[in-house]
Structure 1
Amino acid sequence: MGTKVEASDQESLDFLVNGGETAALILAHDWSATPLGLPETWPQSLRSSLSICLTSSFPTAIYWGPELHLLYNDAWAPIPAGRHPWALGRPGAEVWTDIWDVVYPQLARVLETGEGFSTYDQMLPMVRGGVRRETYWNYSFTPIRGEDGSIAGVFNQGHETTDRVLGERRNRFLLDLSDKLRSLADPRKVIEVAQEALGRHLGANRVGYGEVEETARYFTTDRNWTDGSVPSREGTHDLAGFGPDVLAALRAGIPLLISDAARDPRTSAPESLAAFDAIDTRAAITASLVKEGRMRVALYVHAREPRPWDEHDVELVTEVAERTWAAVERARSEAALREREARLRQLNDTLEHRIEAALAERNLLATIVETTDVQIQVLDREYRWLAINKACADEYQRIFGKRPEIGKNLLELLADRPDQQAAAKAVWSRALAGEAFTQVSEFGDPELDSRSYEMRFEVLRGPDGSQAGAFLMGRDVTERVAEQQRLAEAQAARREADALYRAYFENAPEALFVVGVRSDGGFVVEEVNPAHEAGVGFKIEDIRGKRIEHILPPSVARRVLETYRHVVETGTIYQYREVFDLAGGPQHWDTSLVPVRDAEGHIIRLMGSSRNVTRQVTAEEALRQSQKMESMGQLTGGVAHDFNNLLTPIVGALDMLQSRGVGGEREQRLIAGAAQSAERAKTLVQRLLAFARRQPLQMTAVDVGKVVRGMADLVASTTGPQVRVMVEAAEDLPPAKADPNQLEMALLNLAVNARDAMPRGGTLRITASAETVQAGVGGTLQAGRYVRLSVADTGTGMDEGTLARAVEPFFSTKGIGKGTGLGLSMVHGLASQLGGALSIKSKPGLGTNVELWLPESADRPEAPGPARAVHLAHARKSALLVDDEELVRLSTADMLADLGYDVLEATTAEEGLALVQKGAELDLLVTDHLMPGMTGSDLARTVQTLRPGVPILVISGYAESEGIEPDLPRLTKPFRKDELAASIASLMNGRSS
């Protein structure tokens, strides 16, 4: 949140006037969470300094306080680049993590000495665009003294000098290089000197300079410079192997910058990357020079590892290439001139020399034929050799083991090799028939050698113009053919990899998508896979080439674009979770975005992968809700136990006062009111226990249909005449496992809730039906047969937030004093305790349907029997009362005394057992269950062994069945004297029967 400035505070903020955009940011910033505090409270020394800072046109900043928090003006904001405006108000150590080891000692010196500091062309290794680069700065630090005279901050002004420093360094290098090259006359020495100077200046691993043949594809370098970490790579190289984009750029004379061959889209293909691996290179700058319409030479700089080259490096390499070219051409021209001058001097010396030169010129052709490595041979129309040079004869000797001679027949020479004879005849017959053509074929004896040759056939004609034979010029191109085959295999592998990638893209279960980043900052859909189409609902043919804001709703598009811009700004992989409502309901997606860069390092597209985790999120939310309800259940169960112990003496005392008629009419009325309140508190505790699933249940087979039909009139009278009550219950409905009293209370609670949801009247429909739940489809219900009790109304309904909290205890929408908020909580706890479930479906304006699922019972409902007479013996007897709560024990002892018992009291089970073991008279044992040490149930079992036949009654404030044997009679706290009497009478009657 931003700091809100009231009108009364305006005068105290006058130091921000005319402060530009940064002043507005300072006003909007939440300073309350920082050590600086609100701007209205800033000391005058900071205000004055900041006023000067904000209104200055020169880049200015202030480091303030012990942590040197940053404040600055508009002119200084570009210095932290992408860290602005995040840097505003943050400690300097957080902002300048990349240069703090340089800057902080300078700041500390100013803070300690109180003297100003300035530096010029200071090198600061700043991180820019995710890469650490050399930057140079002129700046100063001036101390700012606070009100008490101590140094409270530092005033900083400065500007960047990187371009000037690097430019001067580049110019010095080029001047020095030109001086060195100017004095060199040997072209090879020129190249060596230029390569080494450039390599050492850039800290490269390899530098090479060479010429390109006429097709502008094959590059030849005689010698490379290396720093010793990589081998030299002299020889001829096929530029096409580095990829078509690389070759096209070089042929056009466009400088090539590759920061990482594995990530650059022009070189990341397997075959291109293999070419870079073959020369131990990951980053390169290549400057190609186009002269007279085609690429003539190239100068390259290689690095073994990825390297963030910049435009200064490209300009330098290009300039060195031009100067090297000029120096080489100069040296060659000078050498050619010297050679021509020397030859002229020799030719002019004597006529003999001129005659010899003429003779040499006449024999030049024969010399070339014999000295060239091109294989030349001439056959007449009968396949006899008319001429053959040494290179060709040597090749026959090498691959066939035989040497041809002029006048001999080619077909006879290959007579013992029919396959080679047929192949030779097939190509020569075309030439001897008058066809001129070029062909590549393989010849040779596999046991000796087999090579591929590029053969150019021409027709040989006599003086009269008739064909005398054919002329062949051949060249061994085995390595070239092998290279072409390798490239073809690499292309096939690339096509196979592309097909594999496409197969993955088309069949991946994750939603994959590719988004293009436009130069104007927009984002355009380029590709989505079928999983994305199925999950999100957009077809690729409908959205390809469209901007995000033209596809998605405005609110959704705004969130998506913010995320995309974050990835472009940070340049890092970003993983996040987003929630959309595009297909009729909220969907949760886990998404990863990966930025893809071009050769210059600019992010040109985003590749995304999304996974729909809606089901997982729903399950996690259900688990959290279950854990929350379980925790609340444990809490309310414990509270209910304590309330029962508190209510027991209250209920007992009020009951005794009523039965004895203590006081006059007014006092009796007050006692009756207190007793009524105690009963309401008792009911509230029972509901708490129901929610906590700890109320005592009398689990029997219940005819739910009979219960529903029997309560129809009561429900109708409770809901009033404006509510129409409809009851539907099949006659053959199976019995359910339930507590009939608790079930009636649950049904009545649901009916009251439905009535309150229909203030203007409506319809209340109560239905009971038999249902079967299959395994895996019942949610929290286990597979089996159930009786479903549904209470549906046509009321106001609940929104999602209310529905999520509907079963929480004490949560109510009825207003203060109009409900305890325990109705649905009690029904939920009852359903869980019975092994069933509670489900609620509701929509605002459409009403609510609450379903109570009860397990079907294998037993049949018992028919009501004759009531058993309740009576107590009139003769006084002895009773042992054990309870660790003094007030409960006192109240219960009074009740027992009124019922005719002489009461012997004990505070623990161990103390009670000791009285029994000493022979105390005992006609009745009344004991609490949960006590320190031995429990009441353990005491009861021991007493049954020592005194068989003694009636035992267990009382419990926790109403917890755990730990209490089922056959032990029990009474739940709080209770009145008549309830205690009824329980004792039941014990005595059961004993007598």
Structure 2
Amino acid sequence: MSNLPSPLAFLDVPGEMAALMRQKDWSQTPFGPLETWSTALRSAVSICLGSRFPIVLYWGETRALIYNDAWSPVPGRKHPWALGRAGWEVWAEIWDIIGPMFDHVMATGEATWSEDQLLPLNRFGYVEECYFYYSYSPVRGETGAVEGIFTAVTETTYRVLTERRERLLRNVSEATSATRAAVDACREGVRCLHEVSEEAPFCLAYLRDAATGALRRVALAGLAADDPLAPLEVTADSDALPWSFAAARQAPALIGGLAERLGGRLIGTPWPEPLEEALVVPIPGPPGEEPHGYLVAGISPRRRVDADYRNLFVRAAGHLGTAIANAQRYEEERRRAEQLAELDRAKTAFFSNASHEFRTPLTLMLGPLEDMLARPDRTAGEPRVGRQELELIQRNGQRLLRLVNSLLDFSRMEAGRMRASFAPLDLALYTAELASSFRSAMARAGLAFGIDCGPLDEPVWVDRDLWEKIVLNLVSNAFKYTLAGEVRVSLRRQDGYAVLAVADSGVGIPQSELGKVFDRFHRIEGQIGRTHEGTGIGLALVKDLTELHGGEVRVSSQIGVGTTFEVWLPFGHAHLPEANRVSATQVSTATRADTFVAEALRWLPDEPLPSAPMTRDEQVGGGQGRGERIVLADDNADMRGYVERLLKESGYQVEAVADGRAAVEAVQRQLPALVLSDVMMPVLDGFGVLRALRSDEGTGQVPIILLSARAGEEASIEGIAAGADDYLVKPFSARELIARVEGAMRLARLRRETADALRQANEVLEIRVRERTRERDQLWAYSHDLIGIADSRGIWVSINPAWTRTLGWTVDEIIGKTSEWLEHPEDRQRTRQEIAQLAAGAASFNFENRFRTRSDSYRTLSWTAVPEGGLLYCVARDVTVERERALELEQARDALRQSQKMEAIGQLTGGIAHDFNNLLTAITGSLELLQRHLNGEQPRAERYIGIAIASAQRAAALTQRLLSFGRRQALDLQPVDVNRLVTGMETLIQRTLNENIRLQLQLDAATWSTCSDANQLENALLNLCINARDAMIQGGQLVITTRNLRDPRLLMLPERLSGDYVELAVEDTGSGIPAAVLERVFEPFFTTKPQGKGTGLGLSMVYGFIKQSGGYIDLHSEEGRGTRVSLLFPRHQGVASEAVPEEVALQPGRGERVLVVEDEPGVRLLIVEVLKDLGYTALQAEDAPTALALLEREPQLDLVVSDVGLPGLNGRELVEEIRRQRPGIAVLLVTGYAEEAMDVQRFLGQGMQLLQKPFAIEVLSERIQGLLQDRREHP
């Protein structure tokens, strides 16, 4: 950029747009060549390109564009095409909006701006709803005329859409939350969404029918009600619509291609383009359940569905799901309220029916009781009946009758059959009379009782009996819940009403319960009073009776201060039904008052009562009690007195109390033998007594029996589960009570005896634990395993002495630290991960790592660890020796596998080599005969024949190498002096090596001899030297050593060798062999040399030869350091002698007859031709039967040349038969199988030889001539 000419220096700005402007040919644009640009234009361009704010210049009459890097994303795909082009061409779609603004600025020179201006741009292949904030500023030239417009632009599309969508979602939330039905919520949500049609051109809502599972349309907007796209009902898996409800079950599904499918009939209002996409969104149901339904929303044709657009409808569907869930809860609450009301009515009906049935037997019970109580105490001839028992029966019978009457009142009011007779009454006088009936009870309870019922200026229309029930219920209620203080009854006139107020200084009512105190059968749980008994219908009856009078009941209360009930009755009678108004004055009665007062008196503490002797039948206990003390708790005085009398008559001492707190205090004061407690009591109920006694160590073992009127198995289970020893349901017989008490006491005695036995057993157990602890300490101290305890971070808290014995570190050096400093660096990360898993609660088994010892060696440890109580309990076994042995075993297995692999390859190569030998024999023999027959007459043909013979000989050598590797070659095993062999090859080896390689022989003079094939050993040594040469391209040193090995096991070889061995080693300083290659170096045809530089059979031949010789080959190599190959041969017990071959002069043939037996036609023909050339008569046979037939016809045969591998009867068997018939006949056996050659060599006798394929003509000729000449000389 720095090389730009001076006039173009304004483009010397970094960035993409500056580079594009430098490369662009401006002469083809409305701007013209850069050299012609005005100073104003260059300055504006320089400012534009150098700014980081999005800026675009509109220049000249065409309003051509130049813009900077920050503005380049605005035109979308039109960039960089828009650079230098006319504005009307770039922005054709909005030119009607911005064109006039440009004209105004150019004409007047006045700047202008727009905020959040809607500009429908086509910048990505479709018209897009976009919003911008921009300002147009004039750029004046040197003459002062406006030459262009400098435009600073900010795209506000994201902000505008975000604000609009948030407002829309807020409207949806507010509208749907105000609904009480799922359908209404969907309709409101759909309406709100479609009101912003830029976001939702149309909208549908479907809800799932709980009964059928079908989807039912409940709301739509933007579509006609009969539009096929909005059917009233569909199945969730229907494919008749374009909406894929099944695909949207878990996540929103985008439906595309609507314009093509619907022929463009669905317009994306308010835009003119047809609708292309819609989104199906599940309306979420409860977690793990199917959606409530689906919301289908059209997608604006001027927007594409991105994460924000998709989230708009997902959140809207979420609001619908919340509203539907709320509506369902509201509907559920409404149904529950209706069910409760229905249950209340059913309960009232039941009690009404039952009460009707109760009144007759009650009448028959109470009437005779009153007669009996009215008689003298004793009438002659009648049985004695206790007056106290009769009074007890009467009191409880009247209580039951009052309850029955109240229930009947309820049922009559519920059915609308309550008949009230309203008459004018001096309400003050009557109310004072009713209230005063409680004065004696108040006095006995120690309460101040005030009655302030001043005269009213006019009578009040009431039903006398019903008003009596109102007053008595309210005063009785005040007495029940006022334990100290006062009760006041007052009557006053206020605001046209007669107001009865019953105020007390009692326990008060919680504010949360004030709205429920008049509910039928409602009772406040845990409320303290004189008794826990009650039905929950008294105040409900007061409310209903007051409303029957056209009045109302009010209540105010404060906990610990007191409660005031007010009954407001209007004066006059206009509010009362005319049919129920009477004028007769009713007579006062106090019958009901007596009943209320009598029951209230029973709530007070007992007074001493004379004990009447029990009848014979009542004495159920038989005096079996041992005088044990029993604490009895019951708030009902009659029940308390009755049970107390039964227990005392059975021989028990009884302390009776009226509430649970007194019972607990009596037990804590002196432990009783048993506690007998009612469940429903004031102050502290029976379950509270249970908790208090069971939680105290001193009283926890006291047996407790609960008494309750709640029947059923669940009540009994609840009592036993709470800790009671027994649970007795009222009503119960005297015999059952005494039996339960005696049974509980027997169990208590048994528990005490068991506890004593357990205590003794614990003492014995503690002794045993101490013994086991001592044994554990010994195990800890003397165990060979490393035992330790660590915290969750792996810091050792305690370790046993085995750590020091195994690793050498002291206890103090390890405790208080993790073992990270001991761990092998390669094991640290795994160990930290294992500790983390242990800390998370997972046990560890057989985890191995290595710990450093004080001597800087490493020991392999196998760990078992278990987390418990925030600590890690660990045991480690030293498996170093085991792992070393396992490694040795694995190496031995690898060697065995490699040996088996090489054995298999050897068998394969040996078989292939046989076939090659047959082929090569025919090829080389034929070529040699052809060469001999030409006799120098055709030099060119002889040259080609020579090349072919040389190639065949190389193939024969290759085949020989394969046989060597496969250990299938015939070895000529003779005693060999290895030192003499190496020394004899020194010159050959030196010539083979490069000049920059030094050869050094380190031969042990005392090296033993070995039994081997000298020629093959020479080939093996030469192969190793050649490989070493190729590995030392830059030069180096080659060392050949020999030595004796008395114990090869010292070499740590994978195979177990024993005995004496001779080692011949070749070591170089070359490049070495990579570890990945070492495993394959002995495989045939494997080579790392370039193509054409080797066959890959050198080392494999050496391997096969050594194995066939009964030896072992070991190869060690380090990349970059060199390679050492050791050949180990078994020691030969003897001295190696140098053999001198004896030369024999051979004579030509004299017409001797030779039988040739060969199944390969080419080889057979070759041998026949050679025999003819040598002057012999040849006979042919392709198999053994043919040969035996010729033998019978031919009286004179001198020699048999036979292949060993004949079909059927093989060559060896054939020769045995021929020699049986003609013992002196000479035999030459031929084979291509090395294994056969080795077997046949052991079979050969006098006048027999073996020739291995492939063979040369000269060798075949020599063998035949030698055998026949020997036969002539030794017939």
**TM-score, structure 1 length as denominator?**
0.49
Which structure is richer in relative contact order (CA contacts within 8 A, separation 6 or more)? 1
**TM-score, structure 2 length as denominator?**
0.39
Structure whose alpha-carbon radius of gyration is higher: 2
